[in-house]
């Protein structure tokens, strides 16, 4: 098994993680859902680490075909077939009533099936029409939460339940598979088509003036306190060298404000650094290139 593309949090999740300690998120539940989804995807990765066969794993693809955007959690490319896995991290007891998915308390939830079928169909079209391959695709919902149960599910439901993860992995490892250059090329082409930013994302509104300033703990997201050459977190005890903490905060600023200039004054405000002006200045000159002079100067990578 070879991983062609590693997973990382979406830009949306990265931005929301950085905003959360600094403002009240307009849709807290949406953020919680994204975190849960990502936790499920990481579980999927752990499961896929069990692959011993000759295959390629491509994670976390955001693709577009005929103007339609679709997201794939994981693809596993074998010699004569492709598996598409859609990670689901539902916890608790659910039952199926026809095509309707319900909790035991009779609250209907969105069926995850149509979305996966849409992905599968768009991927099939993309492979046939643009990437010249006829490899068959089999798609599955993969439920990775150990406390998930679905009553009344048909054996025909394209799903892998927590109790089936082990046997499904054994089945994949027994497939006859010997990859060649064409499989690698296919994986590379898919990665090349990956979009970094979903056009459908609704970004929360935020601006520099209204965000809470300071250095945020990398472990627990509380604000840290400056203690000479180190910053420390009163909430979890984490400590960090001052330069590393300031550099990390500047990188966070760059993700939140990609178009804004990095200036010494602004970074002092951003990190809420008191006293000696040199503290931030030193980090900037050590890690960035200074452009312009005097009051108009700013820093670039
Ligand atoms: Zn902390």
CA distance 238 to 228: 15
Residue 198 resides in a domain: no
Q: Is 251 in the same domain as 175? A: no
CA quadruple 13, 15, 19, 24: dihedral, nearest 10: -60
Structural domain contains residue 169: yes
- Residue finishing a domain among 142, 158, 192: 192
Answer whether residue 77 is part of any domain.
Answer: yes
Residues with CB under 5 A from ligand 1 (ion): 217, 219-220, 222, 233, 235-236, 238
Beta pairing class for 2-5 and 56-65: parallel
User: Do residues 110 and 51 share a domain?
Assistant: yes
Asked if the model's pLDDT at residue 13 lies above 80, the reply is yes
Do the bridges between strand 148-151 and strand 92-97 make them parallel or antiparallel, or are there none, so unpaired? Answer: parallel
The predicted model gives 221-226 an average pLDDT of: 96
Instruction: Measure the CA–CA gap between 86 and 119, rounded to whole angstroms.
Output: 9
Residue 100: pLDDT over 90: yes
Q: Under a CB-based contact definition with an 8 Å cutoff, are residues 274 and 261 in contact?
A: no
Identify the residue whose tokens are 């308390």: 105
Residue span of the structural domain in which 59 resides: 2-192
Domain boundary among 192, 220, 239: 192
Q: Is 176 inside a domain boundary? A: yes
Whole-number mean pLDDT of the chain? 95
16 CB-contact burial (10 Å; exposed 0-12 / middle 13-18 / buried 19+): buried
Q: How many angstroms does the Cα of residue 171 sit away from the middle of ligand 1? A: 43
Query: Ligand 1: distance of its center to the CA of 197 in Å?
Result: 29
- Identify whether residues 67 and 175 lie together within a single domain: yes
What total number of domains does the chain contain? Answer: 2
What's the rounded mean pLDDT across residues 270-299? Answer: 88
178 shares its domain with 287: no
Q: How far, in whole angstroms, is CA 229 from its chain's centroid?
A: 33
Average pLDDT (103-113) is 95
Does 178 lie in the same domain as 264? no
Q: Which of 163, 199, 190 is nearest to 72 (CA)?
A: 190
128 and 60 belong to one structural domain: yes
Looking at the domain assignment, is residue 177 inside a domain? yes
Are 45 and 178 part of one and the same domain?
Answer: yes
Residue at 107 is within a domain: yes
Q: Are residues 224 and 186 in the same domain?
A: no
- pLDDT (tens digit, 9 = 90+) per residue, 127-141? 999 999 999 999 999
pLDDT in tens, 41-82: 999 999 999 999 999 999 999 999 999 999 999 999 999 999
Final residue before a domain boundary, out of 140, 164, 192: 192
pLDDT band at 85 (very low <50, low <70, confident <90, very high): very high
Q: Is the pLDDT of residue 27 over 80?
A: yes
Q: What distance in angstroms lies between residue 224's CA and the mean position of ligand 1's atoms?
A: 7
SS3 assignment, position 250: helix
Expressed in angstroms and rounded, the spacing between residue 10 Cα and the centre of ligand 1 is 23
The CA distance from 87 to 42, in Å, is: 9
221 CA from centroid of ligand 1 (Å)? 6
Interior angle at CA 62, CA 199 and CA 13, nearest 5: 70
CA of 216 to the centre of ligand 1 (A): 8
Same domain, 162 and 274: no
Q: How far is the CA of 245 from the centre of ligand 1 (A)?
A: 12
User: What is the reported pLDDT for 228?
Assistant: 84
Per the domain annotation, does 201 fall within a domain? no
Residue 279 pLDDT: 84
* 203 belongs to a structural domain: no
């Amino acid at each position: 098994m070879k991983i062609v593309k590693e997973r990382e949090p979406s830009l949306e999740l990265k931005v929301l993680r950085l905003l959360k300690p600094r403002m009240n998120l307009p849709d807290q539940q949406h953020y919680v859902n994204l975190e849960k989804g990502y936790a499920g995807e990481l579980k999927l990765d752990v499961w896929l680490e069990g692959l011993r066969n000759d295959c390629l794993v491509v994670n976390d693809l955001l693709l577009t075909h005929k103007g339609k955007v679709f997201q794939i959690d994981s693809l596993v490319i074998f010699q004569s077939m492709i598996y598409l896995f859609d990670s689901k991290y539902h916890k608790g007891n659910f039952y199926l009533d026809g095509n309707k998915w319900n909790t035991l308390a009779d609250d209907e939830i969105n069926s995850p099936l149509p979305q996966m079928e849409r992905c599968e169909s768009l991927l099939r079209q993309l492979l046939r029409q643009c990437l010249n391959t006829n490899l068959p695709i089999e798609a599955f919902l993969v439920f990775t939460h150990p406390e998930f149960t679905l009553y009344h599910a048909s054996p025909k439901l394209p799903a892998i339940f927590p109790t089936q993860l082990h046997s499904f992995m054994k089945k994949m490892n027994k497939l006859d598979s010997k990859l060649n250059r064409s499989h690698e090329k296919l994986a590379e082409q898919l990665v090349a088509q990956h979009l970094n930013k979903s056009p459908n994302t609704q970004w929360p509104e935020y601006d520099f003036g209204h965000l809470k300033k300071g250095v945020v703990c990398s472990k627990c997201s509380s604000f840290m306190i400056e203690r000479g050459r180190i910053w420390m977190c009163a909430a979890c005890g984490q400590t960090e060298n001052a330069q590393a903490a300031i550099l990390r905060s500047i990188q966070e600023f760059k993700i939140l404000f990609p178009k804004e200039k990095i200036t010494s004054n602004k970074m002092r405000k951003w990190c809420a650094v008191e006293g000696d002006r040199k503290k931030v200045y030193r980090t900037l000159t050590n890690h960035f290139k200074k452009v312009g002079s005097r009051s108009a100067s700013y820093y670039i990578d």
